[in-house]
Chains A and B, each alone.
Chain A
Amino acid sequence: MKNPVTAIRLPLRPGREYESRFDREQSTLKMLAIPIASVVMASMITTLPIYAPLPILPPFGFLMFLAWRLMRPGLLPVWSGVPFGLTDDIFSGQPFGSAGLLWSLAMLTIEIIDSRAIWRDHIQDWLIAALLTIATLLGGLWITAMAHAASHPSILLPQIILSILLYPLVVRICARLDSWRLAT
């Protein structure tokens, strides 16, 4: 006698139910690719058709990078600011090397903070991210001013405020990605 069809299931992962439920290994590819891909894709947000008369779009790549670093210390190596920053430079419109330098300096700064403060909570992480975002945006403007004529620093104010307010959201996205990354 045939079993009656009670529910239609998409054959997404055939045979998954019959695998062992414990002692599963996470996929190494997923564990490595998700942090890298999320930061690079956040950097590429500027290529979407978003037009702004003044720089208002928060530096999502940098926020995502900071969120991974502050949420999972030890996941990204100390030198990772350079490759991620140089990738961001391709899409951001800043002089090439600007984010490479600034993100790497931010990474080293967090490393120094980590060696001083042992216990941290989310508010402290937010404060660190806020200060580093302000420093990076001002540094980016300063670097642009060396290469080209640049605007007054006050035009960065809306972007700074928006970036600081959006950081917790980025951390939430990062946490979701992290639980997906570590899921077996």
Chain B
Amino acid sequence: MAPPPHRRPGFSRKAQYGLFATYVIAIAGTVVAALLLIISVADPTGFAALRTVGAEITAPIARFFNNIRRSSNEIGSNMSAYLDAASKNAALTKEVAASRTKLIEARALKVENARLRGILKLKEEMSEQIAVGRIISSTASSTRRVATLSIGTNYGVERAQPVRGPAGLIGRVIETGPTTARILLITDAENFVPVMRVKDGLPAFSAGLGNGLVVIKPLNLGESPFKVGDIIVTSGNGGLYQPNIPFARVIRKTNDGALARPLADPSNSPYAVVMRAYQAEARKAQQAVAPDGMVKEVTE
């Protein structure tokens, strides 16, 4: 179809000036948007309040649909559980017998661990868990991997607290609202996590790729020491993340590291646990003596 001839609005001066004014407003608006963008690039937390308001407004809808989604998932899994009940029963019985001995060994190790900790006078950190919530939405159309949690400051959630699911680490809190919080997922390209290989404690760093995978880079140079199937856990280096949270599984070896798939799948986690930042008090004490200078404590 042809566009309407609004380009030449006739001989009316008023109409001509009106048309001219829309172009002026459009260009001025573009410049204003560019300025806002420069501000938000310089200070990424600057417009957090606006985003929080947006998340708070839409959170009830997201919670509602999340409940529907979860209950329909449960119906599906219940039905499939009925279908292969007999074979599953046999497999589970075998598995219970196999894991019973392992469980006894683990209990013994736990006792021994407590005794050794007592000898070394290591203080147990305070209870790690702050609150339990659910992930209710994620930025599925942006290249940033940010998810929304169903709880906020009403449950004591604060910035820079790690969040984990039953299967492993999910991410950390970057913005909080009254009843929602935003989590930077471990698959975001900006989220660096100190990790180690579980079998020998090989220290490494993880960075998100933005496509659901993370890249694991060892601290030492040379050929990549990883093998497909290696399990990666958090190392607790530098605080923030508790050590030994399950993190990822290596799926491919690269020249200088490995590609790994996170163990926690935020879409299928029944709940998300907000944890106390690891060694937060030590970090605070250190900051009081020697602050990080111009660098902010947690940059996003």
Stretch at the interface among A3-11, A13-21, A142-150, A168-176: A142-150
Chain B residues whose C-beta falls within 8 Å of the C-beta of A96 in the assembled complex: 36-37, 39-40, 46-47, 50-51
Chain B residues whose C-beta falls within 8 Å of the C-beta of A159 in the assembled complex: 141
Q: Is the CB of B211 within 8 A of A151?
A: yes
Chain A residues whose C-beta falls within 8 Å of the C-beta of B146 in the assembled complex: 93
Minimal Cβ-Cβ distance residue in A for B187: A53
* 21 A–B contacts, CB within 8 A, in A order: A46-B137, A46-B142, A47-B137, A50-B137, A51-B135, A51-B267, A55-B210, A74-B6, A77-B26, A79-B26, A81-B26, A92-B142, A95-B44, A96-B36, A97-B36, A114-B3, A114-B7, A120-B2, A140-B143, A147-B44, A151-B209
Contact flags (1/0) for B37-66 with A, using CB distance below 8 Å?
111110010110011011100110110011
State A96–B135 Cα separation when bound (angstroms). 23
Q: Is the CB of A149 within 8 A of B189?
A: yes
Chain B residues whose C-beta falls within 8 Å of the C-beta of A151 in the assembled complex: 143, 189, 208-211
Q: What are the 4 A-B residue pairs with the smallest beta carbon separation, nearest first?
A: A53-B212, A151-B210, A93-B139, A97-B37
Given the known inter-chain contacts A96-B51, A104-B26, please indicate yes or no for A155 contacting B140, CB distance below 8 A.
no
Count of chain A residues with a beta carbon within 8 Å of a chain B beta carbon: 64
Q: Is the CB of A92 within 8 A of B36?
A: no
Given the known inter-chain contacts A49-B62, A54-B212, please indicate yes or no for A97 contacting B40, CB distance below 8 A.
yes
State A98–B209 Cα separation when bound (angstroms). 21
Contact flags (1/0) for B209-220 with A, using CB distance below 8 Å?
111110000000
Q: Is the CB of A47 within 8 A of B61?
A: yes
Chain B residues whose C-beta falls within 8 Å of the C-beta of A50 in the assembled complex: 137-138, 140
Stretch at the interface among B27-35, B95-103, B108-116, B221-229: B27-35
Q: Is the CB of B44 within 8 A of A86?
A: no
Chain A residues whose C-beta falls within 8 Å of the C-beta of B142 in the assembled complex: 46, 55, 92-94, 140, 144
Q: Is the CB of A141 within 8 A of B143?
A: yes
Contact flags (1/0) for A92-130 with B, using CB distance below 8 Å?
111111101100110110010011001111000000000
Chain A residues whose C-beta falls within 8 Å of the C-beta of B46 in the assembled complex: 96
Q: Is the CB of A54 within 8 A of B210?
A: yes
State A144–B33 Cα separation when bound (angstroms). 15
Given the known inter-chain contacts A95-B44, A151-B210, please indicate yes or no for A73 contacting B3, CB distance below 8 A.
yes
Given the known inter-chain contacts A51-B135, A143-B41, please indicate yes or no for A104 contacting B141, CB distance below 8 A.
no
Given A86-B36, A94-B142, 14 extra CB contacts under 8 A: A48-B65, A51-B138, A51-B140, A51-B147, A53-B213, A55-B140, A81-B26, A82-B29, A82-B30, A90-B50, A90-B51, A100-B32, A140-B142, A141-B143
Q: Is the CB of A104 within 8 A of B58?
A: no
Q: Which of B28, B66, B188, B210 has the most CB of A within 10 A?
A: B210
Question: Whole-angstrom distance from the CB of B295 to the nearest CB of chain A?
Answer: 16
Chain B positions near chain A (C-beta within 8 angstroms): 1-4, 6-7, 22-23, 25-30, 32-41, 44, 46-47, 50-51, 53-55, 58-59, 61-62, 65-66, 69, 135-144, 146-148, 187-190, 207-213, 266-267, 300
State A20–B283 Cα separation when bound (angstroms). 76
State A120–B138 Cα separation when bound (angstroms). 38
- Determine if A56 is an interface residue (Cβ-Cβ < 8 Å): yes
Q: Is the CB of A77 within 8 A of B22?
A: yes
Chain B residues whose C-beta falls within 8 Å of the C-beta of A78 in the assembled complex: 22-23, 25-26
Minimal Cβ-Cβ distance residue in B for A100: B33
Question: Whole-angstrom distance from the CB of A139 to the nearest CB of chain B?
Answer: 11
Q: Is the CB of A93 within 8 A of B137?
A: no
Q: Is the CB of A91 within 8 A of B54?
A: yes
- Determine if A36 is an interface residue (Cβ-Cβ < 8 Å): no
Minimal Cβ-Cβ distance residue in A for B139: A93
State A81–B27 Cα separation when bound (angstroms). 10
Q: Is the CB of A49 within 8 A of B139?
A: no
Q: Is the CB of B140 within 8 A of A91?
A: no
In-complex Cβ contact of A79 among B25, B44, B188, B209 (8 A): B25
Question: Whole-angstrom distance from the CB of A166 to the nearest CB of chain B?
Answer: 12
State A157–B34 Cα separation when bound (angstroms). 26
Chain A residues whose C-beta falls within 8 Å of the C-beta of B143 in the assembled complex: 55, 140-141, 144, 150-151, 155-156
State A159–B210 Cα separation when bound (angstroms). 13
